[in-house]
Every structure is written in C-alpha cells, then in structure tokens.
Copies of this chain bind each other. A is one copy, B any other.
Amino acid sequence: MITEKPFYLEQANELLIAKTAYHNRLPILLKGPTGCGKTRFMQRLAWELARPLITVSCHDDLSTSDLVGRFLIKGGEAVWMDGPLTTAIRAGAICYLDEIVEARKDTTVVIHPLADDRRELPIEKLGETLSAPPEFMLAISYNPGYQSVLKDLKQSTRQRFVSFEFNYPTPELEASIVQEESGIEHQLALKLVRLAAMTRSLKDSGLQEGASTRLLIHAGKLIKSNIPPRTACKAAITETLTDDHEMLAALEEMSNSLF
C-alpha cells in the first residue's frame, strides 16, 4: 500500500485512460525504454486508485508457480503458499508484471483467462479457479527495443490489453524531475537533460540505448555532493552507458562541451 503521493508528472492523459480501463476491468500494457518512468506511473496509479501495488520483476526462469503459488513442506505437510499474482487477486490489488517478455512462456499464458472477460486464474495445483474481484487490476510492461523473435509478446497475449507507449519527457519536464529528485539547480538540470538528448540521438548508431532520466538524477546527486560535473557525468552516465572506448571518448567530449 503506497501511503505518500508518488511524484509523477503526466506526459499526456495516461492516468485518465488507465483509470477508465480500471473501471471497465480492462488490463493495461506499458511499453517503453528503461528508466523513463513506467514504475513510477504504476506507483502513482495505485495511489490514485487507493489499491495496493504488487510488482514482479520478470526473468528467464520465472515460472507459473513463482506467480501463482506452490506447495511447501512444513511439518511433513504440503502447505500451499500463494504467489504474488494470487495474493494480488485475493487482496483486490494491482499486480504489475515488469518486463513480462523476459518470463517463461507459461507465465504469459497463465494470465490469459485473467486478462480477458473471464477474469479468472485457474490454480491447477489446488484444482480451483479464482475469480478476480472488481478491485483487481493486471498491468504488464515491456521494452519494444529489446523485442526479438524469441522474446516477443504473442498477439494472443497483446490483444487482451489497453496499451500505453511511454517515452522520455519533454526537456523542461525532465529537468523539473531531475531538479526535484536530486536537489540541484534548474539550469544544471537542463544541461544534464541536454547531455541525455545527445546520447539518445546516438541510439542504434553505436549506443544500445540513450541515458534514462534515472541516470541524470544519479549525476545530479553526485554533483550535489561536490563531485565535479564532468567526473559525475563520467561515472553516472557515460561509463554506465557503454564500454566502447571510441564511444566513451565521443560521449566525454559532449559532456565537456556542456560543463
């Protein structure tokens, strides 16, 4: 349960649409690059809907049992233990499956009956089917930039969700976020945002991905703690983005042109 209003600056009308989806009992899908605010958005949505938020970071070995639950041996007895998805349904919470495409395929299929108008979770090992209460919401996210033949979301999964594309905020908005979160001045924050824009323009011409807002906040915090800006940008941004020495030199030059 989130008790303080999370800091989140809306980019369009994404909160309104998500709340409308919630009241129509439709699940949502967040798409977008790393560190651009998807997790924050979910925290804010949960706060606005006054529902608990249960986040699961998906990975290669995440199985259905990890989500739904499993039997554990206690005192010689097999005792059932709910997984985070089952817990979220029982509690009428919002369950957020972060980077769903990383999970094993069974995980994306187990949410199918939950993500259409049945809103049911079959718990095969208990031999029962759980109906989701109206308060429950399912949300998933994925990063289209990582999309591959092996790690794509099947159409039969996608076509159950209301979808949102997330992207980097506008420069002015992003600088406000960096200022708020790191405590540095607005002018300095704007310079960091400008550096980020440069790195983002290099995407697919050498850089796998540009600097996220989070990295700007890191750099801001180091600067606030008296690390010189160039040194802070090197540690928090450029060395974090790449290992390629030519690219590092190019990024450092950009940084030097600003600070």
Contact = CB atoms under 8 A, between A and B. Distances in A.
Given A26-B221, A161-B240, A214-B159, A78 B73 contact: yes
Each complex incorporates copies of this chain amounting to 6
A256 interface: no
A204 interface: no
A135 interface: no
A109 B104 contact: no
A214 to B, nearest CB: 6
A211 interface: yes
Nearest to A31: B243
B61 A63 contact: yes
Given A59-B105, A116-B214, A158 B24 contact: no
Given A77-B74, A104-B61, A127-B87, A160 B214 contact: yes
Contact of A239 (B21, B31, B62, B110): B31
A23 B81 CA distance: 38
A144 B248 CA distance: 13
A192 interface: no
A17 interface: yes
A61 B169 CA distance: 39
Interface in A86-113: 87, 98-99, 102, 104-106, 108-110, 112-113
A215 B221 CA distance: 39
Contacts of A212: 159
A147 interface: yes
B81 A159 contact: no
Contact of A34 (B71, B87, B127, B156): B156
Nearest to A236: B162
B110 A159 contact: no
Contact of A110 (B57, B63, B208, B221): B57
B59 A106 contact: yes
A155 to B, nearest CB: 4
Interface in A208-237: 208-209, 211-212, 214-215, 218, 221-222, 225-227, 231, 235-236
A81 B26 contact: no
B59 A164 contact: no
B110 A59 contact: yes
5 contacts: A26-B236, A57-B110, A59-B106, A71-B72, A163-B236
Given A56-B124, A61-B64, A84-B122, 6 more contacts: A26-B222, A59-B109, A71-B73, A72-B125, A159-B241, A163-B235
